[in-house]
Amino acid sequence: MEQPIIQVKNFVAQYGDARIIDNISFDVYKGEIFVILGGSGCGKSTLLRHLIGLNKPFSGSIFIDGNDIGSCDDVTFHNTLRKIGVLFQSGALIGSMTLGENVALPIAEYSDLPPDAIANLVRMKLGMVGLASYEHHLPAQISGGMKKRAGLARALALNPKILFLDEPSAGLDPVTSAEIDELILQLNKIIGTTMVIVTHELASIFTVAQRVIMLDKSTKGIIAEGDPKKLKDHSDHPFVRKFFNRISV
């Protein structure tokens, strides 16, 4: 078996006395498009925050490319974080900076490249997401879908091994959402980046997901794992079937 690039083992997330996620384990493999889903309040965003190192597990372990990010030393932790990119739900672009400056920010921070090399990389990254001629635009001058693309270009700036995407289709019209889904598939195919996506958008899930886990608010655990197309018709769990078939609970 191939060694997973992400391993979550007996993971517990808890804030004060409130336990959000209780003892879950799963693996993500290199080059996979892996989706985390579930109903509102099930802990999707909490899990993502832990996977990208913003929070440490209450107990259990999260291994990113072989390193336990909850217990490793600071140098290993920061070196591991350089292997990941994050597309936040809002895009999280800095409004006073052009798209080119936004994408250049992590490159300048984490590399010793000269300005002309950084500029070339920025143009390449924007070109990868279909924004080749928008380098000098401010975020306020572009659409919501273009902001997502620009955020994706910035997330790809350091050639990450793993890309985390938080609700990449949220707030977008159906056509733009489909375009983002197609871009995700193209990037995964062309550069082979492992992608972990948090979403509840069924159309996107069925389009891009190779494998999913479904979190459940009541059990605080994983109630389904596998191919979403198979879970839709063959899951033994009634809530899973209702979720994938859009049936009211």
Give the total residue count for the chain: 249
Above pLDDT 90, what percent of the chain? 81
pTM: 0.92
pLDDT at 1: 54
Instruction: Report how far residue 212's alpha carbon sits from residue 227's, in angstroms, rounded to the nearest whole number.
Output: 6
Residue 171: C-alpha distances to residues 73, 99, 100 (Å): 38, 20, 24
Write out residues in the chain with pLDDT < 70, as ranges.
1, 249
Distance CA 102, CA 141 (A): 14
pLDDT computed for residue 249 by the predictor: 59
What tens digit of pLDDT does each residue of 66-115 get?
A: 999 999 999 999 999 889 999 987 778 999 999 999 999 999 988 889 99
pLDDT of residue 89: 77
Confidence at residue 213, expressed as pLDDT on a 0 to 100 scale: 97
Q: Are strands 33-38 and 211-216 parallel, antiparallel or unpaired?
A: parallel
Q: Count of alpha carbons within 13 Å of 9, Cβ hemisphere only?
A: 12
Nearest CA-CA partner of 6 in 129, 166, 160: 160
| Torsion sign over Cα 95, 96, 102, 108 | negative
The pLDDT value recorded for residue 220 is: 95
Do the Cβ atoms of 156 and 124 come closer than 8 Å? no
